Amino acid sequence: ARRSLLARATGPGATADGHAVPLLANVGGPGDLESALACGAEGVGLYRTELLFLDRPRAPSVEEQEEAYAQVLEAFPGRPVVVRVLDAGADKPLAFLPPPGEEPNPALGERGARLLRARPEVLAAQLTALARAAARGGARLSVMAPMVATAEEAAWFAAACRAAGLPSAGVMIEVPSAALRAADLAAEVDFFSVGTNDLAQYAFAADRQVGALAALHDAWQPALLDLVGAAASGAAAHGRPCGVCGEAAGDPALACVLVGLGVTSLSMSAPALPAVRAALARHTREQCVLAARAARAASCPAGARRAARAHLPGLA
């Protein structure tokens, strides 16, 4: 038993009863690959492409983008790599991609997919660079859009990906409307990835950059768990995978709860991977389901954490 526990501490993510949960890394560019590989990432669940192009007055060329994307794809041959198209605006301002108008509330403005829709030439250049990078081989590329709120936006993005020759298009679920109507969105795209950081911001009307509101960003908030559950159920209704790539995925107990809610993969900053892998290996899927149910029955974050842990005896 000790030996198999040890194998699970380094091998692919799975629960104690062998239910596979791919454990992926969040990366901001080629510079993060070494740590992702060292921590045993099975692929990339979130490549935040905007980090490459901060502080740049002009949009990067298709060729420059292709090089950066190809480096990440080459690091994970045959493995999944999920690239997010530019998520500009609010907490991630890009000099070459400002919002078209004056905005008193940038987090509620033309950011993410909304901004790309207003600037189709920027999205087209990025999708072309991604298709060219994928054609060079390496990882299995999926592309996803941030800040999608409706099924109509999901359909727009899927069509843009198809037009660029990309085989797999998904959306981030980080706006409550998208979680509440997840089945409608799942009918339009190949996969979901839940961004719990922004999902908390928008569910609790609490700016993620305001430190005084941190308690509302506790990922154990039962309302946030409800929204993640809604996203996973909507995806499952159409046989689509639903990952989580927000900070919540890196908390070992919460990772078990997310699996219990029906989440199919977890992506996190690389150093969090070993502890999450170990926590999953020590619990069955059934224990995860019971922990999730108990957490959702609680009425506050501390109560949710306590209730979940009662079903997760293998945690330190």
Q: Which residues contact 237 (CB under 8 A, 6 or more apart)?
A: 183, 186
Contact range with Mg ion by CB under 5 A, out of 40-48, 56-64, 183-191, 198-206: 198-206
Smallest separation (angstroms) from ligand PEP to the CB of 207: 13
Is residue 89 a contact residue for ligand PEP (CB under 6 A)? no
Is residue 48 near ligand PEP by the rule CB under 6 A? yes
φ and ψ at residue 87, rounded to 5 degrees: -110, 70
Question: Got the DSSP string for 257-282?
Answer: HHHHTT--EEEE-GGGHHHHHHHHHT
- Asked if 48 and 26 count as a contact pair (C-beta separation under 8 A), the reply is yes
Q: How far is the CB of 147 from ligand PEP (least distance, A)?
A: 8
174 in contact with ligand PEP (CB under 6 A): yes
**Among 196, 221, 264, 265, interactor with ligand PEP by CB under 6 A:** 196
316 contact partners, CB below 8 Å, separation of at least 6: none
Closer to ligand PEP at the Cβ: 90 or 129?
Answer: 90
Choosing from 42, 110, 198, 251, the residue that interacts with Mg ion (CB under 5 A) is 198
The yes or no reply on residue 243 touching ligand PEP (CB under 6 A) is no
Give the binding-site size for Mg ion (rule: CB under 5 A).
3
Stretch that binds ligand PEP, among 13-21, 153-161, 191-199, 279-287 (CB under 6 A): 191-199
Is 265 a binder of ligand PEP (CB under 6 A)? Answer: no
| CA–centroid distance for 56 within its chain | 25
In angstroms, what is the minimal distance from the CB of 203 to Mg ion? 13
**Candidates 4-12, 194-202, 213-221, 286-294; binding stretch for ligand PEP (CB under 6 A):** 194-202
Q: Which residue has the tokens 């990952």?
A: 243
The CB-side HSE value for 168 (13 A sphere, CA atoms) comes to 17
Report which residue's Cβ sits closest to ligand PEP. Answer: 195
Residue 209: CB minimum distance to ligand PEP, A = 11
The window from 34-42, 63-71, 173-181, 256-264 that contacts Mg ion (CB under 5 A) reads 173-181
- Are 222 and 299 contacting, i.e. CB atoms less than 8 angstroms apart? yes
Are residues 262 and 233 in contact, defined by beta-carbon separation less than 8 angstroms? yes
Written as six digits, the tokens of 121 are 């030439």
Number of H helices, E strands in the chain: 14, 8
The verdict on 269 binding ligand PEP (CB under 6 A) reads no
Residue closest to 41 by CA, chosen among 253, 255, 274: 274
Residues in the chain, total: 316
For residue 243 the two structure tokens come to 């990952």
195 is a contact residue toward Mg ion (CB under 5 A): yes
251 binds ligand PEP (CB under 6 A): no
Q: Which residues bind ligand PEP (CB under 6 A)?
A: 46, 48, 87, 174, 195-198, 245-246
